[in-house]
Amino acid sequence: MRCVRCRARPEVYLRAHNAAFCRACYIPWFQRQVERTLTSGRMCTRDDQVLVAVSGGKDSLALWDALVTLGYRTSGLHVAQGIGGYSATSREKVERFARDRGLPLLVHDLADEGLAIPEVASTTRRAPCSACGTLKRYAFDRVAHVHGFAILATGHNLDDEAARLLGNLLRWQTTHLARQRPVLDPRHPTQVRKIRPLVLVSEYETAAYAFLRGIDYVVEECPYAEGATQLLYKEALDRIEAGSPGTKLAFVREFFRSAQPLFAASEPADGAPPRSCTRCGMPAFDELCAHCRLLRVLAPAGGPSAA
């Protein structure tokens, strides 16, 4: 097989697309996929300021790199979780990436607020990923709001989206299916638009891009990732993909195109819009937002501040 663009010796083989690319042709191909998702989903324009959530992993750094190369105006946001050596290495990779390219970066360290994930999880007896999800989502919204960003981009890729879709379908989580889309518009004055420009490129495609672009990312997994149910779904989908290349892409793309609007239509206006948390003013479905409820469990008599 030869590079489908220039007939040179290929370096990347994409079974899902029945195509192969040399290094020089693969990089613009990947960027074009991202651009296509950005424009067809009306995610953002080159006039917008986009805050990119960067964990230090290949997906988020590849996304930031692609957005910058495509001419989008971006800043990075790294939420440090206080998970020992893993978090230290992740932060180092993100800071070096930003410094080497002269890109603006905001770092929000949960440990500075007394909210390092291992301690929060053991004190509240919540699963680390559940506490981490609540604190990260809150930090994304809060930092974006405080710094005046209207758009937050995350590096979820096709494999993440397919696993999430499978999980939602296996349990017929219709409310979740109604809100599973690559663009989520704000429903509260403190929320920002959330976009997922990598939803149609696979983990392999993103890893190949990061490698060919010379991006230095954190390779080790978060120590809490092992055993996550999502990994089980990913393994099942990988087996299906190996026997029938292109299935993941069709699964997710057709969901967005045909099925998701039906689920959205059956949940009028995405359910009731959130109220304002009485403690911090951020979106809440109760008197307190999920973040402030967590703080209350951690320190019933006051404790860590809401900001």
Sign of CA dihedral 248, 250, 255, 259: negative
Q: Rounded to an integer, what distance in angstroms lies between the CA atom of residue 71 and that of residue 202?
A: 22
Question: Which positions touch ligand Q46 (CB under 6 A)?
Answer: 81, 117, 128-129, 132-133, 222, 224-225
Q: Counting contacts by CB under 5 A, is residue 295 touching Zn ion?
A: no
Q: Counting contacts by CB under 5 A, is residue 94 touching Zn ion?
A: no
81 vs 168 by CB, closer to ligand Q46: 81
130 vs 276 by CB, closer to ligand Q46: 130
Q: Which stretch binds Zn ion (CB under 5 A): 59-67, 196-204, 222-230, 289-297?
A: 289-297
Tokens of 240: 């299906």
Q: What is 108-130 written as a DSSP string?
A: EEGGGGT--HHHHHHHHT--HHH
Q: At closest approach, how far in Å is the CB of 293 from Zn ion?
A: 8
Tokens of 138: 């809150």
- Let me know if 158 is exposed, middle or buried by CB neighbors in 10 A (0-12, 13-18, 19+): buried
In the set 50, 212, 280, 294, which binds Zn ion (CB under 5 A)? 280
Tokens of 58: 């290949």
DSSP 274: P
150 vs 228 by CB, closer to ligand Q46: 228
DSSP 273: P
In the set 165, 277, 283, 294, which binds Zn ion (CB under 5 A)? 277
In the set 120, 132, 292, 294, which binds Zn ion (CB under 5 A)? 292
CB 58 within 8 A of CB 87: no
| Partner touching 292 among Zn ion, ligand Q46, none, CB below 5 to 8 Å by kind | Zn ion
91 vs 279 by CB, closer to Zn ion: 279
Going along 35-175, which residue ranges are E strands? 49-53, 73-80, 105-109, 151-153
Q: Counting contacts by CB under 5 A, is residue 77 touching Zn ion?
A: no
- Under the rule (CB under 5 A), what is the footprint of Zn ion? 277, 279-280, 282, 289, 292
